[in-house]
Structure 1
Amino acid sequence: MMERLTRLIRQLPIKWKLMLGATTLMFLLFATYNFSQYLVLKQWMMNQEKDKIQVSMAQLQDFLNEKSNTMDTLLITEARPYIEKMIGKNQLVRIIGKNGEPLLTVSNHFDENWVTPRTVEAPELFDTTHQEDHILIYRSPFITTKYVGTLEFASNLETFDHFSHTLFWVMLIGGVLAVFISAISGLAIARQLMRPIRALAATIRSVKEKGLTERVSNIENGDEISSLAQLFNELMNQLEVSFRQQKQFVEDASHELRTPITILEGHLSLLNRWGKSDPEVLDESLQASLQETRRLKGIVEELLTLTRVETHLDSEINEPIQIEPVIQETLKRFEVLNPEFLFQVNTEKMRDALVSISPLHLEQILLIILDNAVKYTMQDRRIVIVGQRLINEVQITIEDHGIGIPQDELPYVFDRFYRVDKARNREIAGSGLGLSIAKQFVYKYQGEINIRSKENEGTTVIIKLPINQIMK
């Protein structure tokens, strides 16, 4: 039975679980508080009744002690008016002789047969029941030189019981009302709390049906659940960007790879049809095929490099190096390959700077940027390289005077396979992956890379890398 009930509760919606939890907690708290309060009040009222009957007994004893020098039948008879005056409603006063016979009985709406007369040697105070009546009895011995007996006081606790029952029902009804109100309030609060979660669930279903453009709306409450919805929206924004980039990457990669494959297929088909016996066609087709094969190989190698950089951003720890000699050595080798360009180099201000970076990665970053500067410079063939040390970082600036980049295309130059004005630049070799690789390398070492450019004036690439320490 308990397992079935537990399984049933687990299957309930969260709002009903919250309501049941709040109701159960309120019931336990209210029941414990009311029951404790009821017991305390009942005990306090019983103590009050006992105190009253003890005070009345003491008054009667004082009266009888004053008359003790003439204690006889006449005195007991004379005590009746005093007892009738002091006795309350639903009470009984009895003077009992030493043999247990009642000498005087005074009652007020109290049946003397409810209490059996009895002598005692020590005071006793207790409560008992007679049929449906609740009675408080107090007996005390009374001894003088002329009289030995027992004084007996009895009080019907009808008023006490009535008040106790009334108090019990008031607390019970109040508890039921409080539990009912707490259940309604708990349900309302649960619905309010579940509103962002329902919106989140509805948005997830919409995402499943309509795509990544759906978002959770009305999340301005500022609570934790709203923060969860906001986090979901941010996650969906990132996923949307990631999927869009992935889609663009697949499209661009397919486009870039399709061209050399198509060229290879065309030349191989040409050779297969009639180029085998024509040395001129054979030589042309072989040269073109080799060129496209090298191009394919370059694209694949750059993709592999980009993938390695993206998946191992923090896997290596590099010792600090002086980057100024690495820059100088890289420029010397690049200058030999491009003798028609003038390289103006100034790296004196960063000579003592140490940076935690792989020399091979730094060289690859520089070669990518220098290669772009050379490829897109047609007339003013000056390349300016400036290195300087800032407060906590070094800055490498590479400036060319080439064709530049339009302002509306600057935000996309680091995207994979993106090439400025692709139709015009198809004759210029390149896959559009170089700057993406350079950016990932720079970010790997917690650096920053930015590009400033003006069309037909030139492009400036600024690389910043954090300094590890300064040589002394």
Structure 2
Amino acid sequence: MMKTLCALLSKLPIKWKIMLWSTGIMCILFAVYNAAQFITLGQWLNNQERVSMQKSMAQIQEYYQEKKTVLDVDQVRNSKSYLEKIIERRQLIRILDQNGLQIIAVSNRLPDDWVPPEESYQSLFISVWHDNEHLLVLRSPIHTDHFQGTVEIVNNLETLDQISNIILVVMVIAGLGAIFFSGFGGFLLSKQLLHPIQSLVETIQNIKVKGLQERVRPMNNNDELSRLAHHFNDMMDQLETSFQQQKQFVEDASHELRTPLAIMKGHLSLLKRWGKNDPQVLEVSLDAAIQEFQRMEGIVQELLELTRSESDHPEALIEIVKPSAFVQQCVERFSSAHPNMVFETDLHFTESDAIEVVPYQLEQVLVILLDNAVKYSADNNVVRINGMKQNHFVKIRVTDSGIGIPSDELPYVFDRFYRVDKARSREGGGTGIGLAIAKRLVERNRGKITIMSKEHYGTTVTVSIPACSKTE
């Protein structure tokens, strides 16, 4: 039975669990409090009744002790008028002799046959029942010179029991009311507390149907659940951005790889049909296939570099680098592969200027920028490299005087596979990944990269990296 109940409770929604638990706890607390209150109040009323009976007994004892020298059976019988004066409502007072025989009895709405007389040698309380009547009996001995016996006082506790019953009924009604209001309050409380979670559940369900653009409605509270909803929205923003980037990445990569594959397939088909016996067709098709293969190899290599730049955390490879000598060496190595280009360097660094970077990553950034400058210089074969320290940043600028970039295209040049002039870039071998890699590597070295360009006048890319406060 208990296992079945636990299984049923475990299947309930959290809202109902909170309501049931809060109601159950309130019921237990209220029941314990009411029980303690009822018992305490009942004992207090009972003690008050006993105190009242003891006062009456003390008055009677005092009355008889004043006459101890002359008190006998006749004097006891003559004391009936006194007992009638002090008797209380629903009370019986009896005087018994030493043999337990009744001498006198005074009653106020309490028949003397309800309680059989009984002699006593010490004061004591006895609780008895006559049918449905609850009676409390106090017996105390009398000792005088000429008389020995017992005084009996019997009180009917009907009034006390009625008061107790009324209190019990009130407490039960109050308890039932408390159960109802605690349940209702628990329901409202659980509904209020779980509103952000319910909103979160609805949003997740909507995401399954409508897509990643769904968000939890903003709340003005600053509690933990509201912050949970806020963090969920932030996570969904990042997730949506990631999926969009992944989708764009797959689309662009498939588009980029589809072109060289189609060209290679076309030339291979041409070779199969006519190139076996035609040396000229064979030569042209092989050269085209090799060229497209090299371009595919470049795309794959840049994809690997981009993935590596996003996943690596080479803190152990960070070194303190002097920018003047480092930039000069990178330019010299790159210029040796492009003898037709002129590379003008204008570096304004001092011996104390230094930066903390991963050297091979900074070199890769410079190679990407110089390579882009060479590709898009058009008929102008001059590339300028400037360097300076400004506002606690070491800044390196690469400027060309080539085809430039339209202003409406500038916000997208750091996106993967984005190319301003797709046809011209394809002819020049560009894939649109280089600037995305450069941006990621610069950010990994706590720097930033910006670009300024004017169509037909050239482009300037600036890399800014925090300067070292101390150098070795």
Q: Same fold (TM over 0.5)?
A: yes
Equivalent residue, structure 1, for 2:82:
82
Q: Deviations over 1:33-86 (max 9, x none)?
A: 111111111111111111111122112222222232321244323432222122
Distance 1:380 1:154 in 2: 127
State the Cα deviation string for residues 204-260 of structure 1 (Å, max 9, x = none).
233222322333336445544443333333322222222211111111111111221
Distance 2:122 2:397 in 1: 110
CA distance in structure 2 between the partners assigned to 1:59 and 1:132 by the alignment: 30
Task: After TM superposition, give the deviation of residue 398 of structure 1 in Å.
Answer: 3.4
Supply the distance in 2 between the matched residues of 1:193 and 1:158 (Cα, whole angstroms): 51
Q: Which residue of 2 aligns with 1:166?
A: 166
Identical aligned pairs, as a percentage? 46
More displaced 10-residue stretch of structure 1: 341-350 or 363-372: 341-350
**Maintained 8 Å contact 2:31/2:175:** yes
Alignment of 1:324-339 (within 5 A): 324=323, 325-339=325-339
1:374 matched to which residue of 2? Answer: 374
TM-score, reference length from structure 2:
0.91
- Matched pairs, number: 469
Change (3 A) 1:344 1:119: same
Match of 2:152 in 1: 152
Return closer, same or farther for 1:436/1:457 CA change in 2, 3 Å cut-off.
same
Aligned AA for 2:345?
Answer: Q
1:200 corresponds to which letter in structure 2? L
Q: TM-score, normalised by structure 1?
A: 0.91
1:398 partnered with 2:394: no
Give the C-alpha shift of residue 289 in structure 1: 1.9
1:320 aligned residue = 319
Counterparts of 1:177-326 in structure 2, within 5 Å, are 177-217=177-217, 219-312=219-312, 314=313, 317-324=316-323, 325-326=325-326
Q: Provide the residue aligned with 1:442 in structure 2.
A: 442
Against the structure 1 CA distance between its residues 176 and 196, is the aligned structure 2 distance closer, same or farther, given a 3 Å change threshold? same
Q: 2:199 and 2:165 mapped to 1: Cα distance?
A: 50
Aligned pairs for 1:136-147 within 5 A? 136-147=136-147
The 3-state SS of whatever aligns with 2:336 is: helix
**Equivalent position amino acid for 1:412 in 2:** Y
Q: Given the superposition, is the C-alpha separation of residues 315 and 332 from structure 1 closer, same or farther in structure 2, using an over 3 Å criterion?
A: closer
Which whole-Å CA distance do the structure 2 matches of 1:350 and 1:450 have between them?
Answer: 26
CA distance in 2, matches of 1:138, 1:460: 112
Number of the residue aligned with 1:28? 28
Q: 1:96 corresponds to which residue?
A: 96
Q: Matched residues in 2 for 1:19 and 1:269: separation?
A: 75
Superposed CA RMSD? 2.5
The residue type equivalent to 2:382 in the other structure is: R
Shift of 1:295: 0.8
SS of the equivalent of 1:103 reads strand
Deviates more, 1:234-243 or 1:315-324: 315-324
Aligned residue identity for 1:26: M
One-letter amino acid matched to 1:204: I
1:42 to 1:298, Cα distance in 2 relative to 1, 3 A = same
Give the C-alpha shift of residue 286 in structure 1: 2.3
Mapped to 2, the partners of 1:416 and 1:11 lie a distance apart of 49
Greater shift, 344-353 or 138-147, is seen at 344-353
CA contact (8 A) 2:447 2:464 kept: yes
Question: 2-side partners of 1:455 and 1:72: how far apart?
Answer: 138
Q: Give the match for residue 66 of structure 2.
A: 66
Structure 2's unaligned 5+ residue stretches are: none
Give distance in 1, aligned partners of 2:468 and 2:133.
Answer: 94
Q: Which is further off, 8-17 or 175-184?
A: 8-17
Which whole-Å deviations, capped at 9, do the CAs of 1:314-337 have from their partners, x for residues lacking one?
365224332423323112212333
* Match status 1:430 vs 2:430: yes
Q: Is contact 1:267–1:289 with CA below 8 Å preserved after alignment?
A: yes
Letter in 2 for 1:348: F
- Cα distance change, pair 33–460 in 1 and its aligned pair in 2 (3 A): farther
Determine whether 1:342 maps to 2:343. Answer: yes
Identify if the C-alpha distance between structure 1 residues 60 and 456 changes in structure 2 by more than 3 Å, giving closer, same or farther.
Answer: farther
Give the secondary-structure state (helix, strand or coil) at the position aligned to 1:214.
coil
